């Protein structure tokens, strides 16, 4: 278990992380989200013991990181932002080097290297120089080094940043696979990542926690959650839709002839809308169920807090 209590880090007068508290249990895959400069990497570095905190407390399985840094680091695998490695080394040399640095006994190193090479599928590039690998493979090498000592906790800072869609997909599948019996924290500013791989979302902005709940709860904050958009092939009278039970509002974009129908909170309006379309023989080309627009929710959650003077 990870327990973070009132974690704070100042750089000069700037509070990069401000009084952050949360608790993460085994089996949780946490998306740690925030805009650029929100304090994600600074938090990750403090949780992994790579950066001293200004104040607060981090403990892992009851061990205070300030007092037991070495023991805590043995429990944690960390992929820093940008997945730094030694570019002149081959993948094998790098993993061997990390196994040494992690003080894995010589007799167990081959086993540890083979295990992560298989897990992360690095067999085909084992003897290639890291510098010459694609970004996707470089990232996988970074994940392999984080896993080499078989940690219970995996902290990945922007693991899919800069990857193409196929590579992103591969890394996400890998994270899902790894998450089974670990705690995984994935720092990202990519919203789709959260719904793809995480079962919990923590959002920070200006170093402070702004949201901590499930990805579904995040989607439910969107006005578009469970809304339905229909595309009309030509103009038709749709005024009766607003009278339907459970419908809160509608938006008609006359340029594209798309109508978005918003439900009252918690209502499922699929059946009533479909029935209305049929009984009124509306010229509908397509029907799109909406999941919720996370971009809007993210903007709302992370927008700067207004001061009392600004509110007045």
Ligand X SMILES: Nc1ncnc2c1ncn2[C@@H]1O[C@H](COP(=O)(O)OP(=O)(O)OP(=O)(O)O)[C@@H](O)[C@H]1O
Chain residues in the site for ligand X (CB under 6 A)? 11, 16, 34, 36-42, 81, 189
Residue whose structure tokens are 């030509």? 234
Minimum distance between the CB of residue 196 and ligand X, rounded to whole angstroms?
Answer: 18
Q: At how many degrees (to 10) do helices 135-147 and 106-120 cross?
A: 140
Nearer to ligand X (CB atom), residue 188 or residue 222? 188
Spatial distance between the Cα atoms of 289 and 101, rounded to a whole number of angstroms: 51
Nearer to ligand X (CB atom), residue 182 or residue 189? 189
Nearer to ligand X (CB atom), residue 7 or residue 122? 7
Residue whose structure tokens are 């298989």? 118
Q: Are 101 and 125 in contact (CB under 8 A)?
A: no
Nearer to ligand X (CB atom), residue 37 or residue 87? 37
Spatial distance between the Cα atoms of 81 and 159, rounded to a whole number of angstroms: 7
Minimum distance between the CB of residue 52 and ligand X, rounded to whole angstroms?
Answer: 12
Nearer to ligand X (CB atom), residue 39 or residue 142? 39
Q: Is 304 helix (H, G, I), strand (E, B) or coil?
A: coil
Minimum distance between the CB of residue 17 and ligand X, rounded to whole angstroms?
Answer: 7
Tokens, residue 186: 């994935």
Minimum distance between the CB of residue 78 and ligand X, rounded to whole angstroms?
Answer: 14
In DSSP terms, 232 is beta-bridged to 284
Nearer to ligand X (CB atom), residue 39 or residue 292? 39
Nearest to 49 by CA among 26, 18, 22, 70: 70
Strands 76-79 and 247-253: unpaired
Nearer to ligand X (CB atom), residue 36 or residue 279? 36
Q: Give the 3-state secondary structure of 60-99.
A: ECCEECCCCHHHHHHHEEEECCCCCCCCCCEHHHHHHHHH
Longest dimension (CA), the chain: 77
DSSP state, 245?
T
C-beta neighbour count of 23 within 10 angstroms: 12
Nearer to ligand X (CB atom), residue 5 or residue 81? 81
Minimum distance between the CB of residue 76 and ligand X, rounded to whole angstroms?
Answer: 18
Tokens, residue 269: 């309006």
Taking the alpha carbons at both ends of the chain, their separation in whole angstroms is 43
Give the number of C-alpha atoms closer than 13 A to the C-alpha of residue 77, restricted to the C-beta side: 27
Minimum distance between the CB of residue 11 and ligand X, rounded to whole angstroms?
Answer: 3
Minimum distance between the CB of residue 110 and ligand X, rounded to whole angstroms?
Answer: 36
Minimum distance between the CB of residue 39 and ligand X, rounded to whole angstroms?
Answer: 4
């Amino acid at each position: 278990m990870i327990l973070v209590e009132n974690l704070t880090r100042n750089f000069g007068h700037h509070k990069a992380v401000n009084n952050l508290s949360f608790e993460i249990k085994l089996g949780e895959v946490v998306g740690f989200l925030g805009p650029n400069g929100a304090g994600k990497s600074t938090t990750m570095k403090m949780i992994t013991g790579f950066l001293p905190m200004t104040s607060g407390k981090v403990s892992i399985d009851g061990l205070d990181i300030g007092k037991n840094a070495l023991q805590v680091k043995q429990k944690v695998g960390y992929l820093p932002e940008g997945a730094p490695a030694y570019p002149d080394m081959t993948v094998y040399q790098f993993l061997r080097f990390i196994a040494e640095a992690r003080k894995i006994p010589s007799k167990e190193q081959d086993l540890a290297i083979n295990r992560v090479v298989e897990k992360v599928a690095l067999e085909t590039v084992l003897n290639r120089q890291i510098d010459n690998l694609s970004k996707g493979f470089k990232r996988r090498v970074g994940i392999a080094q984080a896993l080499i000592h078989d940690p219970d906790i995996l902290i990945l800072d922007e693991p899919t940043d800069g990857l193409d869609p196929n590579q992103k997909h591969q890394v996400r599948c890998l994270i899902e696979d790894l998450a089974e019996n670990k705690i995984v924290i994935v720092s990202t500013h990519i919203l789709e990542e959260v719904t793809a791989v995480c079962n919990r979302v923590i959002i920070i902005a200006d170093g402070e926690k702004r949201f901590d709940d499930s990805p579904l709860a995040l989607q439910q904050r969107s006005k578009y959650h469970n809304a339905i958009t229909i595309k009309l092939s030509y103009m038709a009278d749709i005024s009766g839709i607003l009278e339907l039970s459970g419908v809160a509002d509608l938006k008609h974009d006359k340029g594209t002839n798309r109508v978005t129908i918003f439900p009252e909170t918690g209502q499922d309006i699929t059946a009533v809308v479909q029935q209305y379309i049929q009984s009124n023989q509306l010229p509908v080309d397509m029907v799109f169920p909406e999941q919720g627009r996370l971009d809007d929710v993210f903007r709302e959650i992370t927008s700067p807090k207004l001061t009392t003077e600004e509110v007045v």
